[in-house]
Amino acid sequence: MADCEGPELFQSTPDVVGDGLKELHLQKEDTGQRRGEALSKNIIRRERPLGGDMSPSTVSRPHSLQSPRKQGASSQSSTVSTPKNEEVIPSSVTLKQQPGQPPKLARSTSQKVISRTPPTFDDYQSRTDEAKGTFQVIPGCTYSSKAIGATDHAMDCECAEEWDASVQANAACGDDSDCINRATKMECVGDCGCGADCQNQRFQRQQYAQVTVIKTEKKGYGLRADTALRENDFVYEYIGEVIGEGHFRRRMQQYDEEKIKHFYFMSLNKGEFVDATKKGNLGRFCNHSCNPNCYVDKWVVGDKLRMGIFAERPIKAGEELVFNYNVDRYGADPQPCYCGESNCTGFIGGKTQTESGTKLSQATVEALGIDDGDSWDTAVARKPRKKKVNEEDEEWVNKVEPKGLDEDGVTKVMATLMQCKEKWITVKLLSRIQRSNDERVRNRVVKMHGYQILNSVLASFKDD
């Protein structure tokens, strides 16, 4: 494919995108799938609540994870008066009393994250060996079939080998490099032009952070950082058995019948899940927090999609490693949340987290150009409105005017296109490229594996 790329093809780039867009639009209304692409972070994890075992019917299913970007939210005023039919009791719990109805408990919290020094757990005893006895440790994901977890093969980057004699290592494709593969969330493989053992092979070389499993007071096992981590540092791969949706549903029932108290499913792709309940690694012990210091992201490694846990901010040694499950309700009741953060919703799952939330990952929202960031140009388009309760993601996105695509935004668009399986999202991303008249944007599209990715996208929907 690289041999076909040249200056004469560049001039036709807008037509290639336009033709592909038209082809996708022909069948857009037939998609019938109105859910956004879920990230990863879609984890289903059942916890044991404080004070007793959880009923087997109480399961929570996360649908998306936070990305490194924090989402701001308004806080409640401390001077707000309490309604006459409500009585405030300790722990921010409100007792609602309605005439002729039994009293109900509701937890109201501020969504503003108050800055505080993160607690450390240096004095907690290591329970790593004990925790390893609760499941089978495996070195990598296993797949129920060859097609499960498959994606287009990672591409060659344009980096050259940079041998650093002082550390006896190849410094190519590092965090500060302009590596195309790293920018589009692909790992370089052995035959890449950057040379062997470059810095963009963290999954393959299992370059995990130094961590210890500890026993928390209320959340069971947890994962502690033993060394300081920088923002976006690779913490751990989320490893388990990769299965399809039918297999997943059977296992849910099986685990209930086996009275398994804790089980963990993470959504890898549409209809594909990583099950770390019985087989996995230490990454499975990352707990939930409403104010996380980690996030989960998908990467292409070879011809497979893989899930990694990354540092969302600088993390001190001794901190517990946590990410936001942002779970969807999957059972009769939500689970209590014990993260202790000032913006804690009080529950993992349930209506407080899911009815008005999008199932799109933050990375997808940013690629679509509808993120409500500080860089929004109100002279070009209005800031996007919030998603309404029970509004489908596609319906919401269709009513929001996206930002114009600039050169810096191309990388996010191309990375999302590479991993996207939802046709309506693909159409929206291609539309952003097509609408841009900036020559720098088109040059960036070509540089970011544009021809290969667009060819792959069109091939994925060739039957449409």
What per-residue confidence (pLDDT) applies to 358? Answer: 56
Residue 339 sits at φ, ψ, to 5 deg, of: -70, -25
Higher pLDDT pick, 94 / 245: 245
What per-residue confidence (pLDDT) applies to 40? Answer: 41
As beta bridge partners, residue 215 has 221
What per-residue confidence (pLDDT) applies to 98? Answer: 58
What per-residue confidence (pLDDT) applies to 461? Answer: 78
Q: Are 368 and 394 in contact (CB under 8 A)?
A: no
Residue 396 sits at φ, ψ, to 5 deg, of: -65, -50
Q: What is the mean pLDDT of the chain?
A: 74
Which pLDDT tens digit goes with each residue over 278-334? 999 999 999 999 899 999 999 999 999 999 999 999 999 999 999 988 654 343 356
Which amino acid, 250? R
Percent of the chain with pLDDT over 90: 31
What per-residue confidence (pLDDT) applies to 363? Answer: 81
Residues near 388 by beta carbon (within 8 Å), at least 6 away in sequence: 356, 396
The size of the chain, in residues, is 464
Other CB atoms closer than 10 Å to residue 430's CB: what's the count?
Answer: 24
Please give the C-alpha separations between residue 125 and each of 33, 221, 223, 224, 225, in angstroms, as whole numbers: 48, 11, 12, 11, 13
Catalogue the long-range contacts made by 434-442 (C-beta closer than 8 Å, 24 or more residues apart): 434/14, 434/17, 434/18, 434/21, 435/404, 435/405, 436/404, 436/405, 438/405, 438/406, 438/407, 440/407, 441/405, 441/406, 441/407, 441/410, 442/10, 442/13, 442/14
User: Edge to edge, what strands does the sheet with 93-96 contain?
Assistant: 86-89, 93-96, 104-107
Q: Which of 209-213, 246-250, 254-258 has the highest mean pLDDT?
A: 209-213
pTM beyond 0.75: the answer is no
Rounded to an integer, the average pLDDT of 412-432 is 86
Burial class (CB in 10 A: 0-12, 13-18, 19+), 46: buried
What per-residue confidence (pLDDT) applies to 387? Answer: 61
What per-residue confidence (pLDDT) applies to 299? Answer: 93
Element (H, E) at 438: none
Residue 87 sits at φ, ψ, to 5 deg, of: -125, 125
Percent of the chain with pLDDT over 70: 66
Which pLDDT tens digit goes with each residue over 5-59? 333 333 334 444 555 445 444 444 444 444 444 444 445 555 443 333 333 333 3
Q: Give the SS3 label for residue 235.
A: strand
- The 10 Å CB-count burial string (b at 16+, else e) for 299-329 is bbbbebbbbbbbbbeebeebbbbbbbbbbbb
Q: Give the SS3 label for residue 159.
A: coil
Residue 119 pLDDT more than 50?
A: yes
